[in-house]
Amino acid sequence: MKVALVQHDVAYEDARATCEHLAPLVRSAAAQGAQLVVLTEMFATGFSMATDKVAEPGAQGTGSRFLVDMASQAQVAVCGSLPVRPSGAGRPVNRFVCALPDGRTVGYDKVHPFSFGGEAASYGPGQTVTTFEWQGVAITPFVCYDLRFADAFWAVAERTDCYVVVANWPAARQGHFRALAVARAVENQAYVLATNRVGSGGGIDYAGGTIAVGPFGEVLAEAGQQEEVLLVEVSRGRVSEVRQAYPFLADRRAFEVDSPGAGQPALQKGGPG
C-alpha cells in the first residue's frame, strides 16, 4: 500500500480556510498513487481548546465533510483527527477519522488527552483502541500524546501491521516525537507513520519532522520543517518477515512489581492483546 504523509500548516481555528488549502495536496497525493492520505491532529483547526468554537457536530462538520468528500473524489482513504461533539451528553472528543472512498468512516477517540496542555479539561478520553483493514494492511490509529504510552501500542501489536499517529507536536519537544516514533516501531515490529504539522497556532510553534519508520526500526522517510508530502510503501509481508526472523513479541508477558508498603504486588499488564 502506498501512503502519503501530509505535513501541513493550519489556519488556526479556521476549518474552512485550512480545508481549502489541503484539497490540492490531497489530490496531488492521490495522483501520485497514494491509497491512504494521512493529515495531522486536529488537521482543520489546529490544537484548540476553544471547543465551543471548533468542535464539530459529528459527520456534519466542515472537517468531517472534507474527509468524506476528498475520499470520494480522489478515490483514496483520507484521515486525520478532529474535535467532535458527541450526539449525546458529555464533552467533545479528539477523534481520529478515516474516510474511505465508498463513504464509510472509521473512528478512534484519543485515549490520552494531553493534560499538560489543558486538553484533559476540554476533551473527554476515548475508551477503546480501534484496528481496521485497508488495502490488506491492519492499521491501528493513535493521536499525538498517545505516542508516549507504550502499553497502548503493545496491547494491539499482534493485530497491527501499521500504526498511524497524527500529531500537533510542539517544536520544543521535537526530539521526543522522533525518538518515540522509532521506539514504537522497534518494540512492536510494525510500521509507525507519524505526521506532524508545521507553522504556529495558539501561541505554539510546530517544527514538522513527520516520519515513517519500518518494522525493523529503519527510517523510510522523514520531513523537514516546511510543508511536505512523504510517499512510502507499507507491506504486511515485511512485518511478517521481521517478526518471523526475530520473534520478540512472543516473549512479552505480564509481570509483578513489588509495591513497598502496600502489602501486595501490583500486576503490570504488558502483554500483547
CA dist., res. 219 & res. 199, Å (int): 24
CA dist., res. 17 & res. 80, Å (int): 16
CA dist., res. 45 & res. 14, Å (int): 5
CA dist., res. 71 & res. 34, Å (int): 11
What is the grid cell recorded at 149? 504510552
Question: Which of 111, 77, 112, 80 is CA-nearest to residue 96?
Answer: 80
- The yes-or-no answer on residue 110 being catalytic is yes
Active-site residue identified among 79, 98, 144, 162: 144
- The yes-or-no answer on residue 41 being catalytic is yes
User: 22 with 8: CB under 8 angstroms?
Assistant: yes
Active-site residue identified among 19, 41, 56, 98: 41
- The yes-or-no answer on residue 233 being catalytic is no
Active-site residue identified among 56, 79, 110, 119: 110
User: 94 with 143: CB under 8 angstroms?
Assistant: yes
User: 77 with 61: CB under 8 angstroms?
Assistant: no
Residues with a catalytic annotation lie at: 41, 110, 144
